[in-house]
Structure 1
Amino acid sequence: MSDRSAIEWTEATWNPTTGCDRVSEGCDNCYALTLSKRLKAMGSPKYQNDGDPRTSGPGFGLTLHTDALRVPYGWKSPRTVFVNSMSDLFHARVPLDYVRQVFEVIADTPQHTYQVLTKRARRLRQIADRLEWPANLWMGVSVESVKELPRVDDLRQVPAAVRFLSCEPLLGPLDGLDLAGMHWVIAGGESGPRFRPVEEEWITQIRDTCQDAGVAFFFKQWGGRTPKASGRLLGGRTWSDMPDRQMVLPAG
Structure 2
Amino acid sequence: MAENSAIEWTDHTFNPWTGCTNVSPGCDHCYAESWSKRSGHVKWGNNPRKRTTAQYWKVPAVWEANATAFYKLKGRRQRVFCASLADVFDNQAEPGWRSDLFALIAATPSLDWLLLTKRPQNVKKMLPSDWKDGYSNVWLGLTAEDQVRFDQRWKHLSAIPASVRFISYEPAIGPLRIVDAPVQPDWLISGGESGNGARIVEADWIRQIDADCAAGGVAHFFKQWGTYGNNPLVCESGIPLAEAKIADPHGKGGGLLDGAIHRRFPQPRPKVSVAA
Shift of 1:130: 3.9
Distance 1:179 1:138, change over 3 A: farther
Residue in structure 2 matched with residue 117 of structure 1 by the alignment: 116
1:206 lines up with 2:209 in the alignment: yes
Identity over aligned residues, as a percent? 37
| Residues 122 and 131 of structure 1, relative CA distance in 2, 3 Å threshold | farther
Deviations 1:219-250 (A, max 9, x none): 00001289211588x85664456327xxxxxx
Residues 103-182 of structure 1 mapped to structure 2, 5 A cutoff: 103-128=102-127, 130=129, 132=131, 133-149=134-150, 150-175=152-177, 178=181, 180-182=183-185
Is the Cα–Cα contact under 8 Å of residues 222 and 263 in structure 2 kept in the other structure? no
State whether residues 9 and 239 of structure 1, in contact with CA within 8 Å, keep that contact through their aligned partners in structure 2. Answer: no
- Alpha-carbon displacement from aligned partner over 1:161-185 (angstroms, at most 9, x marks no partner): 0000000001111145527241000
Q: Secondary structure at the match of 2:3?
A: coil
Letter in 2 for 1:64: R
> Equivalences for 1:227-238 in 2 at 5 Å?
227-230=252-255, 238=263
Q: How many residues align?
A: 231
Are the counterparts in 2 of residues 185 and 218 from structure 1 also a CA contact under 8 Å? yes
Q: Deviations over 1:46-103 (max 9, x none)?
A: x1x3234xx68xxxx5222361433211223232110111110111112333222211
- The letter for the 2-side match of 1:127 is M
CA distance in 2, matches of 1:33, 1:190: 15
Matches within 5 A, 1:77-96: 77-78=66-67, 79-96=78-95
Aligned Cα root-mean-square deviation (Å): 2.6
The answer on whether the counterparts of 2:170 and 2:189 sit within 8 Å (CA) in structure 1 is yes
Distance 2:167 2:91 in 1: 21
The match for 1:18 is 18
Alignment partner, residue 71 of structure 1? 59
Change (3 A) 1:220 1:179: farther
Highest Rg: 1 or 2?
A: 2
Flag the 1:25–1:179 CA change in 2: closer, same or farther, 3 A: farther
Hey, what does 2:29 align to over in structure 1?
29
Matched letter for residue 11 of structure 2 = E
The secondary structure found in structure 1 opposite 2:254 is coil
1:243 pairs with 2:268: yes
Residue 51 of structure 1 aligns to which amino acid in structure 2? W
TM-score (norm 2): 0.75
State the alpha-carbon separation in 2 of the partners of residues 231 and 64 from structure 1. Answer: 38
Q: What is the TM-score with the length of structure 1 in the denominator?
A: 0.82
Mapped pair 1:62 → 2:49: yes
| Structure 1: stretches of 5+ with no match in the other structure | 41-46, 245-252
Counterparts of 1:97 and 1:115, CA distance in 2:
20
Which one is further off, 31-40 or 7-16? 31-40
